[in-house]
Amino acid sequence: MPVWNIIQAVNDALRIEMRRDQRVVVLGEDVGKFGGVFRATTGLYDEFGPDRVFDTPLAEAGIIGSAVGMALYGLRPVPEIQFADFIYPAYDQIVNELAKFRYRSGGQYPCPVVIRTPYGGGIRGGHYHSQSPEAYFAHTPGLKVVIPSNPYDAKGLLLSAIRGEDPVIFMEPKRVYRAAKGEVPEGDYTVPLGQAKVVREGSQLTVLCYGAMVHTCVEAAQMAEKDGFDPEIIDLRTLLPLDAETVLTSVRKTGRVVIAHEAPKTCGYGAELAAMIAEKALLSLEAPINRVAGFDTPFPYTLENEYLPSPDRVALAIKQTAQF
C-alpha cells in the first residue's frame, strides 16, 4: 500500500471519481494546467481535458454560483476555493442558495456540490491564509461539513462526499497537507460521512478534535501519557452531521472533556459540542468542559504559534481536566 500525504490522497480521490463518473467536473482558480496552488488537482487537466477541469475568473461567487447551476443541470461539480479565507464572497451563494435549493424548492432541486477548500493556520499565512470558518457552515441548515485529518480519511471521505446527494463543505487541513502521511489503498473505497473515529483509546478523559488539531492532540496525549494520564482522542471527521453517539459513549465512559479547535472560541464549533454534551450527558460529567481554541482575535501573523492551540496547551488542559 502506498504511503501518501493528504494532497496525494485528495488528488487520487478526484481522479478515481472523474474516471468513474463523467458528471464530475473540477473548477476553480489555478486548478487547471497548473494543478492548484497546493497541487491537489495535479494531472487532472491532462487526463480529463479543459471541459472537465478548468480555471475560472477570479470570483468566488462565480465559482460557487456557476457550480450550483451545473449541479442543477445534472453535473457533479467539485469547485476549489483556493483558501477558506477567500470563501466569503461566495457566502450568499453557499448559505442562501446551495444549502437551500433542495429545501426551498420542496425537494425539486437537489444541489450536490462539494466545495473543497484548504483551511487553518500554522503556515505563516496571517489573517487571510489561516482562518477556520467551519462554524459558519455547520450553523447553516442544508450543508454537510467534513474535515479530514489524514490521507486515508481524506480520500475516503471525499469519495463519499462526491457520491452523496447533498452539498458538502470539505475543508482540508493545509498545515498537515504534506506532513500527515499514511497508508492509502490505491483503489476505490469510501469512509462514510457522519462517523467519528477514536484515534486513541483512553479511560480518563475525552479529547474532541478534527483536522490539523488531531495531530496536535495526539502529540499532547503523548506528553500527558508520560505524566501518567490516559486520554481518549476522537477525530470527529464530520462536523455535520455529527456522530453524537461516539462522542457521548466516550464522555459517559470518561466523564471529562477537552475540546480543541483553531477557530475562535466564542461560538466556535466547540461551543456546540459543549452544549450538546451538557444537554445529553451532564450527569456523567465530573469536571467542567475545557475548550482549547483560537483566541477571539483576528488570526495574527507573527504570533500565530501563540494563537494556535499547541500540544503544550492541550496537554495542560488534559492534565487540569483530569485532575479537577
Binding site for another protein (CB under 8 A): 25, 51-52, 54, 56-57, 59, 61-62, 64-70, 72-75, 77, 89, 92-93, 96-97, 101-110, 141-142, 144, 164-166, 194, 240-242, 244-245
Give min distance, CB of 198 to another protein, in A. Answer: 18
Task: Give the residue with the Cβ less far from another protein, 67 or 220.
Answer: 67
Task: Give the residue with the Cβ less far from another protein, 10 or 68.
Answer: 68
Give min distance, CB of 99 to another protein, in A. Answer: 9
Task: Give the residue with the Cβ less far from another protein, 48 or 299.
Answer: 48
129 is catalytic: yes
Task: Tell me if 14 sits within 8 A of 76, measured CB to CB.
Answer: no
Task: Give the residue with the Cβ less far from another protein, 190 or 310.
Answer: 190
Task: Give the residue with the Cβ less far from another protein, 161 or 180.
Answer: 161
∠ Cα 9 10 12 (to 5°): 65
Task: Give the residue with the Cβ less far from another protein, 102 or 155.
Answer: 102
Give min distance, CB of 1 to another protein, in A. Answer: 32
What count of other Cβ atoms lies within 10 Å of the Cβ of residue 211? Answer: 29
Give min distance, CB of 252 to another protein, in A. Answer: 17
Up-side HSE of residue 293: CA atoms within 13 Å toward CB? Answer: 23
Q: Which amino acid is at 156?
A: G
**Catalytic one of 129, 139, 215, 261:** 129
C-alpha cell at 184: 492509502
Phi and psi for 78 in degrees, rounded to 5? -125, 80
Distance CA 260, CA 199 (A): 15
Residues 209, 292, 269, 302: is their CA dihedral positive or negative? negative
Which amino acids are annotated catalytic? 129
